[in-house]
């Protein structure tokens, strides 16, 4: 609402400027009227067209559009694209085509024939401003709705959707029958229905349309229905006048409307005198200081409310200040008035129908939102799962706490970024980046295991600290190489956009891809742990290192490979996370605590636990965000509090190993 | 004779495996008892249950003259009730001196504030010296216990147990890794302790058990297989089958 | 009693003497005393360093002695800072507001003053109402109580929940880290009532002491920090010297054994966790008036890990080690990151310490963990070993202790 007002104001200003420029232009001479009908209409409206003001142009456009002449569309289109020219010598209007910078070729509208080439200095171009162009566009809609080109018909429908209006209803309805394209016809029907609800003068028809469309989840329908049920709070002296569509009566001081607010409405409606604010009282007091006293009260005492009241009362008594509105007066005024919420829509039948329809829609929207929230939560859960699955191997299976895990995720994301710098094709680059990220972080993981971690097995706290040292070093290294600003990692084009089920439920393809990736990772993990030699050896070494070693397994090698595997998976997760999050040196640290939480809450040493943990944390966080959508930080705080409490009840996580096998 | 500890009908299982199955056991106030049994018979789990480390799925553990239940009490509370436990491997605080180890174990208020303001009185120091000479560590009082030999650590741990002045001593394989001379000394300490309190010794070594000269309880698959004198149980054919015969 | 205590702990006397000399020296050389050798800002840096040493001491008690690797003690430190910051900011804004309102022709009422203060303080987060947490902000005494009470209560509640469910080792570390993260994220919100990421500022000005120059104030705070560190050190030395210290180290090395001796391990952990949280809160309350500003970024989990880094580099399990670590690392860090360290020109690349210091710190931390688990304090052992050749007991850190506990329970 406010923006249209502003736009109108701008248009007005610019047209004023245009007007002053055109003051010198000689007006058309109506005497030289041509027998050709289009030119005649143009000449009739010539003055308005030349004035070119958004305020006054409407009749001219209407005259052209309603002339019934087949050339009207061509004139309006020429006008809209600034190709309408007036020959200064005789005031005739033509379509102009540029020959070179100086000369234009003119075409007659009626005949369509070229009438000659004229120097630009002998012509005046009609330049409609954006406001006028919008009006022309609306006028053109009725022509375009039946245009042979389907693309233009679609454009016309888009124009209607953007700027619906009562006058568009009739031409739109008229064009439905003749529409050959079934998709466009359906769209025309729908828009016609919406326009009917909004603008038709026939109330039963509007109500019937509302009932027809009830249950539709489209935002456009809600956008059409909502203005029908808006209310305004109004005050009336005595009784509410007949003929108003009353939503409900409101008692001041009870419920939503406070006494003060009610009185302010009276003041705004000029039904009561304004109260003085404490600022105004202070100003008045300050204006009447006499010899260190105001109204006989010493200045020093005026830092108390009651002293101020006394001083002001004295001023009122002396006639030096307007009287305060007393509490009794306020309540008397309030009693003398009734307050009610009044519908902006005058027809009660309409508001009822609209409300019923909105209620039906609201129920369905709630269901839709629940589905949407579930999808959101699932996708968040898969992100946590991706971030945590590497940890589920290094921490969960091997018991090594790796604080640099987040930095491996970051490394993977940066690997993706670097690959994209070399390979511009996004699809190819991602396909290259995934194995490369795995290779890079696998190597980093193996190096870290060889150099640091293997010396610290069975000293978990020291592992934590040492890997933290690596974590800060890696983070700073990334900062030194890539700078502090975020680097883009762009998803391939086919991952852009979203799978839109309706206006409420939608999920972006990238999130679906991450969900799929999480499932693939789960499968790969299970395959490696259960079906491969490495998995067998890893489990053997984890359960009894000495026994495994005596059976010919090299624990050093197994630990190295397992750690490399966990780190490599973190790298791939980094590529996936980088696709939707900003790639910065802090990318990893944003996920590290949540990842550990996921593993701990799920139950250490069990991949299903990690899955359950990720799911629980994802759903919980989305749930809290849903309760308090403005504040994702609070959601994280509550999540952490929840986890701390959760640990009370299941100290070993959701899926716990029991008994002596769990170890303490 | 009223019993100090009565365990009746206790069962516990880990992931479906019944570690203890309807076990009943009782010991008097001043009695020595040896528990023997093959690996996995449930000896350590039995101790875990009595000391509160493991919660049984069923059964009762009744303690003392007032017949209070030990189930639901924390390990520390049970220890303060008078149950002392010696682990299989010597677990002393190796970073601390023998004196510190013994002082920590010495019977005294255990609350944080009481401990914070605690300073050893001459009586306490005398008691520690008595204990130290009993376990043969009088000369080593100022040494870090990590520097002691394996056998000395075992004795230190027994000394710590005695310092607690428990009414029931649970001792897990006290003679493991000891030289014959050390074993003899250990036997003497335990026999002496059993004069004033109940002592339960879990042991593999039959010679050591024989030297203790006490009633023997044989555990098998989480339940009591036989009970009586060593000669009595070793004559039991079932016992021979599951344990001695192998 | 205290004679024997000091006699048994000669390192305490040495430490106190060194600290006293240090405080005296800085005082004489500082701007505030007229010598002007040490700038006011450096006096503040030194004062802050003493506060960091105090919180490191708390960390050493809880980690080095008791074996709880808490990644939450810097959060308690920050909370202490917030509590004193609230009063400093309120009282100072009040002074400004009162003086500006006193120029008005009509003297202001109390509610007008409070409204104006609220506007001043919360304008940045688009509010002017005082949230409930500022209830006592006008009373220095109450806020001082809160400096102790808020970190203490948080530690008590969190510790009770965590220890009760027998969360130990790295799990506890992760849980404390989560607590810290949760607190930081909470404070980052604008409607947390503590000005969101703007934090509290202008804390270097003491209300009512506008006439005292910062040079003098910095010395006062330096003294206060020195005194707090001395008292903290005495207290810490006292509790670890006796049987209480024995129990703490016992919990570190073998928790189960301590439990079977009849000590309520959870109670002791909770006690030491809470007490050290309070010490951290006091250290924070002294630190932030010298820093001048506090915001939620200060509380981020990484700060608490740095605290562990200091203690580890200094040598955990010995009190002077924690102090040495905190002083050494924080001073060296501020030297390198402050831009004072000369760049190293390698010919093909100029090494800027501002960029590379963290990498050096991180890697040296790894090296300390791997090769010198006893930290800088271990150097003292080299010296004392030569004097007392009979003491050659293997050092038993908490890490190895954890392993031993596992064996014990098999």
3-state secondary structure A149-185: CHHHHHHHHHHHHHCCCHHHHHHHHHHHHCCCCHHHH
Q: Residue A315 and residue A306: Cα distance in Å, rounded?
A: 14
Among A134-143, B134-143, C383-392, the minimum mean pLDDT is found in: C383-392
pLDDT attached to residue A6: 52
Which residue, A464, A460, A498, is CA-closest to A580?
A498
User: How much of chain C is helix, strand and coil, in % rounded to 5?
Assistant: 75, 0, 25
pLDDT attached to residue A7: 52
Average pLDDT on A609-633 reads 83
Q: Which residue of A has its CA nearest to B48?
A: A660
Q: Which residue of A has its CA nearest to B18?
A: A659
Number of neighbouring beta carbons within 10 Å of residue A532: 11
The domain tally of chain B equals 1
Q: Is C167 exposed, middle or buried (0-12, 13-18, 19+ CB in 10 A)?
A: buried
Which residue, C394, C307, C314, C381, is CA-closest to C77?
C307
pLDDT attached to residue A657: 54
**Highest-confidence range of A519-528, A604-613, C67-76, C184-193, by mean pLDDT?**
C67-76
Strand, helix or coil for residue A439: helix
User: Does C75 score more than 90 pLDDT?
Assistant: yes
Q: Give the tens place of pLDDT for each residue, A458-475.
A: 788 888 888 989 998 999
Average pLDDT on B94-113 reads 89
For residue B102, give both structure tokens: 């013994």
- Say if A1 is an interface residue toward chain B (CB within 8 Å): no
Among A9-18, A23-32, A158-167, B6-15, the minimum mean pLDDT is found in: A23-32
Helical (H) or strand (E) element with B10:
strand B3-14
Higher pLDDT, C118 or A147: C118
- Say if A659 is an interface residue toward chain B (CB within 8 Å): yes
User: Does C289 score more than 90 pLDDT?
Assistant: yes
Q: Residue A373 and residue C200: Cα distance in Å, rounded?
A: 37
Q: Which residue of C has its CA nearest to A396?
A: C171
- Say if C3 is an interface residue toward chain B (CB within 8 Å): no
A631: which chain C residues are within 8 Å (Cβ-Cβ)? 189, 191
Interface test with A, best of B11, B15, B51 (most A CBs within 10 A): B15
Number of neighbouring beta carbons within 10 Å of residue A278: 13
Q: Do A54 and A131 form a contact (C-beta atoms < 8 A)?
A: yes
Q: Do C174 and A460 touch (CB under 8 A)?
A: no
Q: Do A644 and C162 touch (CB under 8 A)?
A: yes
pLDDT attached to residue A21: 46
Intra-chain end-to-end CA distance of chain A, in Å: 66
Mean confidence (pLDDT) of chain A: 81
Q: Count of A–B CB contacts within 8 Å?
A: 9
What DSSP character marks residue C191? Answer: G
pLDDT attached to residue A18: 47
Helical (H) or strand (E) element with B172:
strand B168-172
B15: which chain A residues are within 8 Å (Cβ-Cβ)? 658-659, 661
Average pLDDT on A116-139 reads 83
Average pLDDT on B61-81 reads 87
Shortest distance between the Cα of A620 and any Cα of chain C, in A, equals: 15
For residue A502, give both structure tokens: 């309706």
pLDDT attached to residue A435: 93
**Highest-confidence range of A171-175, A227-231, A510-514, B76-80, by mean pLDDT?**
B76-80
Higher pLDDT, A2 or A432: A432
Shortest distance between the Cα of B172 and any Cα of chain A, in A, equals: 18
For chain A, give the percent of residues with pLDDT over 70.
93
User: Does C102 score more than 70 pLDDT?
Assistant: yes
A660: which chain B residues are within 8 Å (Cβ-Cβ)? 14
Q: Give the tens place of pLDDT for each residue, A182-240.
A: 888 888 888 888 888 888 888 888 888 888 887 777 888 888 888 888 888 888 887 88
Mean confidence (pLDDT) of chain C: 84
Cβ-defined contacts of A74-77 (< 8 Å, 24+): A74/A109, A75/A38, A75/A42, A75/A109, A76/A136, A76/A139, A76/A140, A76/A143, A77/A140
Which residue, B33, B52, B87, is CA-closest to B201?
B33
User: Does A2 score more than 80 pLDDT?
Assistant: no
Q: Give the tens place of pLDDT for each residue, A278-295.
A: 788 888 888 888 877 887
- Say if C382 is an interface residue toward chain A (CB within 8 Å): no
Q: Residue C284 and residue C217: Cα distance in Å, rounded?
A: 17
- The CATH number of residue B214's host domain is 3.40.50.300
Which residue, B237, B194, B207, is CA-closest to B30?
B194
- Alpha-carbon distances, residue C204 vs C44, C155, C216, C289, C335 (angstroms): 10, 28, 12, 5, 22
Average pLDDT on C245-260 reads 91
Chains that touch B (3 or more CB pairs under 8 A): A, C
Angle at A446 between CA A441 and CA A447, to 5 degrees: 95
Residue with tokens 């991450």: A514
Chains that touch C (3 or more CB pairs under 8 A): A, B
Q: Residue B168 and residue B84: Cα distance in Å, rounded?
A: 6
Residue with tokens 């190096």: A447
Strand, helix or coil for residue C89: helix
- Alpha-carbon distances, residue A462 vs A81, A466, C177 (angstroms): 74, 6, 16
User: Does C386 score more than 50 pLDDT?
Assistant: no
Helical (H) or strand (E) element with C360:
helix C353-371
Q: Residue B108 and residue B118: Cα distance in Å, rounded?
A: 9
Mean confidence (pLDDT) of chain B: 86
Shortest distance between the Cα of B82 and any Cα of chain C, in A, equals: 9
Which residue, A648, A604, B80, is CA-closest to C164?
A648
Which residue, A501, A659, A479, C312, is CA-closest to B18?
A659
pLDDT attached to residue C401: 33
Q: Do A623 and A369 form a contact (C-beta atoms < 8 A)?
A: no
pLDDT attached to residue C394: 37
Q: Using DSSP bridges, classify how beta strands B223-228 and B215-220 pair: parallel, antiparallel or unpaired.
A: antiparallel
- The distance of Cα A311 from the centroid of its chain, to the nearest Å, equals 54
Angle at A626 between CA A622 and CA A629, to 5 degrees: 110
For residue A145, give both structure tokens: 């709705």
Average pLDDT on C140-162 reads 94
For CA atoms B55, B62, B22, B58, the dihedral sign is negative
Average pLDDT on C323-352 reads 83
Task: Let me know how long chain B is.
Answer: 246
Q: Do A591 and A387 form a contact (C-beta atoms < 8 A)?
A: yes
Average pLDDT on C294-308 reads 89
Strand, helix or coil for residue A291: coil
Q: Do C32 and C219 form a contact (C-beta atoms < 8 A)?
A: yes
Q: Give the tens place of pLDDT for each residue, A435-453.
A: 999 999 999 999 999 999 8
pLDDT attached to residue A658: 46
Average pLDDT on C356-363 reads 88
User: Rg for chain B (alpha carbons), in Å?
Assistant: 18
- Say if A651 is an interface residue toward chain B (CB within 8 Å): no
For residue B137, give both structure tokens: 């560590």
Among A357-361, C13-17, C238-242, C335-339, the minimum mean pLDDT is found in: C335-339
Which residue, A122, A72, A70, is CA-closest to A96?
A122
B19: which chain A residues are within 8 Å (Cβ-Cβ)? 659
User: Does A628 score more than 60 pLDDT?
Assistant: yes
Q: Give the tens place of pLDDT for each residue, A321-362.
A: 888 787 888 888 888 888 888 888 888 888 888 888 888 888
Angle at A276 between CA A271 and CA A278, to 5 degrees: 150
Shortest distance between the Cα of A155 and any Cα of chain C, in A, equals: 44
Residue with tokens 């000293």: A459
- Alpha-carbon distances, residue A131 vs A10, A158, A165, A311, B98 (angstroms): 9, 17, 15, 58, 96
Q: Which domain holds residue B112?
A: 3-244
Q: Which residue of A has its CA nearest to C166?
A: A651
Q: Do B53 and C256 touch (CB under 8 A)?
A: yes
Q: Do A473 and C170 touch (CB under 8 A)?
A: no
């Amino acid at each position: 609402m406010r923006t249209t007002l502003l736009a109108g104001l701008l248009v007005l200003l610019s047209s004023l400027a245009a007007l002053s420029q055109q003051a010198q232009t000689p007006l058309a001479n109506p005497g030289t009227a041509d027998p050709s009908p289009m030119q005649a209409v143009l000449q009739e409206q010539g003055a308005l067209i030349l004035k070119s003001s958004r305020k006054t142009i409407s009749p001219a456009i209407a005259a052209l559009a309603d002339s019934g002449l087949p050339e009207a569309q061509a004139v309006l289109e020429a006008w809209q694209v600034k190709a309408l020219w007036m020959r200064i010598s005789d005031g005739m209007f033509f379509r102009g085509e540029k020959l070179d910078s100086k000369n234009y070729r003119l075409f007659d509208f009626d005949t369509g024939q070229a009438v000659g080439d004229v120097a630009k200095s002998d012509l005046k171009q009609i330049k409609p401003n954006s406001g006028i162009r919008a009006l022309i566009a609306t006028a053109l809609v009725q022509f375009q709705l039946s245009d042979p080109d389907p693309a233009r018909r679609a454009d016309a429908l888009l124009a209607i959707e953007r700027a619906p209006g009562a006058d568009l209803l009739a031409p739109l309805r008229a064009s439905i029958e003749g529409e050959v394209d079934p998709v466009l016809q359906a769209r025309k029907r729908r828009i016609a229905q919406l326009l009917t609800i909004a603008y038709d003068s026939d109330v039963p028809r509007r109500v019937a349309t509302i009932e027809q469309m009830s249950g539709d989840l489209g935002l456009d329908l809600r956008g059409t229905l909502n203005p029908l049920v808006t209310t305004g709070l109004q005050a009336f002296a005595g009784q509410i006048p007949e003929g108003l569509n009353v939503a409900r009566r409101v008692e001041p001081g009870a419920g939503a409307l406070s006494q003060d607010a009610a009185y302010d409405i009276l003041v705004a409606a000029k039904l009561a005198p304004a109260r003085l604010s404490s600022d105004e009282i202070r100003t008045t007091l300050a204006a009447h200081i006499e010899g260190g006293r105001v109204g006989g009260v010493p200045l020093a005492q005026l830092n108390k409310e009651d002293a101020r009241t006394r001083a002001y009362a004295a001023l009122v008594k002396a006639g030096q200040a307007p009287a305060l509105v007393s509490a009794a007066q306020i309540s008397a005024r309030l009693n003398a008035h009734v307050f009610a919420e009044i519908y902006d829509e005058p027809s009660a039948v309409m508001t009822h129908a609209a409300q019923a329809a909105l209620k039906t829609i609201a129920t369905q929207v709630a269901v839709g939102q629940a589905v949407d929230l579930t999808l959101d939560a699932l996708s968040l859960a898969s992100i946590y799962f991706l971030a945590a699955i590497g940890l589920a191997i290094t921490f969960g299976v091997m018991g090594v706490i790796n604080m640099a895990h987040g930095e491996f995720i970051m490394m993977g994301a940066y690997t993706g970024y670097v690959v994209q710098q070399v390979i511009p094709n996004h699809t190819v680059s991602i396909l290259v980046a995934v194995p490369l990220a795995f290779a890079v972080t696998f190597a980093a993981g193996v190096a870290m295991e060889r150099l640091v971690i293997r010396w610290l097995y069975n000293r978990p706290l020291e592992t934590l600290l040492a890997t933290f040292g690596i974590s800060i070093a890696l983070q700073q290294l990334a900062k030194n190489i890539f700078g502090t600003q975020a680097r883009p990692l762009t998803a391939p084009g086919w991952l852009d956009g979203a799978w839109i089920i309706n206006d409420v439920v939608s999920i972006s393809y990238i999130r679906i891809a991450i969900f799929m990736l999480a499932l693939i990772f789960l499968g790969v993990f299970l395959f490696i742990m259960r079906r491969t030699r490495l998995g067998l050896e890893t489990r053997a070494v984890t359960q009894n290192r000495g026994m495994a070693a005596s059976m010919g397994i090299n624990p050093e090698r197994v630990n190295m490979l397992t750690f490399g595997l966990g780190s490599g998976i973190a790298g791939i997760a980094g590529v996936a996370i980088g696709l939707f999050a900003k790639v910065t040196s802090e990318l990893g640290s944003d996920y590290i605590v949540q990842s550990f939480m996921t593993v701990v809450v799920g139950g250490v040493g069990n991949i299903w636990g990690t899955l359950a943990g990720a799911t629980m944390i994802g759903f919980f966080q989305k749930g809290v965000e849903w309760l308090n959508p403005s504040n994702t930080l609070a959601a994280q705080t509550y999540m952490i509090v929840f986890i701390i409490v959760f640990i009370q009840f299941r100290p070993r996580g959701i899926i716990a190993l029991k008994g002596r096998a769990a170890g303490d | 004779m009223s019993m100090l500890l009565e365990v009746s009908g206790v069962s516990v299982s880990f992931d479906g495996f019944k570690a203890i199955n309807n076990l009943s056991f009782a010991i008097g106030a001043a009695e020595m008892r040896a528990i023997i049994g093959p690996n996995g018979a449930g000896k350590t789990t039995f101790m875990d249950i009595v000391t509160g480390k493991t919660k049984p799925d069923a059964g009762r553990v009744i303690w003392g003259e007032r017949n209070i239940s030990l189930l639901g009490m924390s390990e520390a509370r049970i220890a303060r009730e008078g149950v002392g436990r010696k682990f299989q491997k010597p677990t002393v605080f190796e970073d601390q001196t023998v004196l510190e180890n013994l002082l920590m174990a010495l019977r005294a208020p255990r609350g944080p504030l009481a401990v914070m303001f605690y300073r050893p009185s001459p009586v306490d120091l005398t008691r520690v010296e008595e204990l130290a000479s009993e376990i043969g560590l009088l000369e080593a009082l100022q040494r870090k216990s990590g520097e002691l030999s394996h056998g000395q650590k075992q004795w230190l741990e027994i000394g710590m147990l005695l310092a607690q002045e428990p009414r029931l001593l649970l001792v897990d394989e006290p003679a493991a890794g000891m030289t014959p001379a050390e074993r003899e000394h250990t036997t003497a300490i335990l026999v002496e302790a059993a004069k004033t309190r109940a002592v339960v010794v879990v042991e593999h070594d039959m010679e050591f058990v024989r030297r203790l000269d006490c009633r023997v309880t044989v555990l098998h698959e989480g339940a009591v297989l036989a009970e009586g004198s060593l000669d009595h149980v070793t004559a039991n054919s079932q016992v021979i089958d599951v344990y001695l015969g192998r | 009693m205290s004679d024997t205590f000091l006699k048994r702990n000669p390192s305490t006397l040495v430490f106190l003497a060194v600290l006293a000399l240090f405080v005296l020296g800085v005082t004489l050389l500082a701007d505030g005393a007229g010598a002007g050798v040490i700038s006011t800002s450096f006096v503040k840096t030194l004062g802050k360093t003493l506060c960091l040493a105090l919180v490191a001491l708390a960390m050493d008690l809880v980690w080095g002695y008791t074996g709880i690797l808490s990644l939450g003690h810097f959060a308690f430190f920050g909370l202490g800072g917030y509590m004193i910051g609230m009063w400093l900011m309120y009282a100072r804004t009040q002074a400004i507001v009162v003086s500006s309102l006193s120029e008005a022709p009509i003297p202001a009422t109390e509610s007008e003053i409070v409204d104006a203060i609220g506007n001043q303080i919360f304008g940045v987060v688009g509010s002017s109402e005082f949230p409930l947490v500022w209830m006592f902000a006008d009373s220095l005494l109450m806020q001082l109580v809160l400096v102790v009470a808020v970190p203490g209560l948080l530690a008590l509640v969190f510790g009770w929940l965590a220890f009760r469910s027998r969360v130990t080792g790295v799990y506890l570390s992760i849980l404390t880290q989560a607590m810290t993260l949760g607190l930081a994220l909470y404070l980052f919100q604008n409607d947390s009532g503590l000005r969101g990421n703007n934090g509290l500022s202008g804390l270097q000005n003491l209300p009512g002491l506008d006439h005292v120059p910062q040079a003098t104030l910095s010395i006062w705070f330096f003294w206060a920090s020195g005194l707090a560190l001395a008292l903290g050190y005495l207290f810490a030395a006292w509790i670890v010297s006796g049987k209480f210290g024995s129990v703490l180290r016992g919990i570190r090395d073998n928790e189960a054994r301590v439990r079977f001796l009849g000590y309520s391990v959870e109670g002791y952990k909770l006690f030491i966790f809470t007490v050290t949280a309070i010490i951290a809160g006091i250290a924070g309350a002294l630190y932030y008036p010298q820093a001048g500003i506090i915001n939620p970024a200060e509380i981020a989990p990484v700060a608490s890990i740095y605290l562990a880094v200091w203690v580890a580099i200094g040598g955990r399990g010995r009190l002077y080690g924690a102090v040495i670590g905190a002083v050494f690392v924080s001073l060296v860090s501020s030297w390198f990151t402050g831009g004072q360290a000369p760049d190293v020109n390698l010919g093909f690349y100029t090494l800027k310490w501002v960029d590379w210091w963290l990498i050096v710190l991180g890697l040296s931390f790894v090296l300390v963990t791997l090769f010198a688990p006893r930290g800088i304090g271990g150097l003292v052992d080299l010296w004392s070993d030569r004097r007392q050749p009979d003491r050659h007991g293997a050092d038993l850190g908490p890490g190895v202790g954890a392993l031993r506990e596992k064996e014990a329970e098999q």
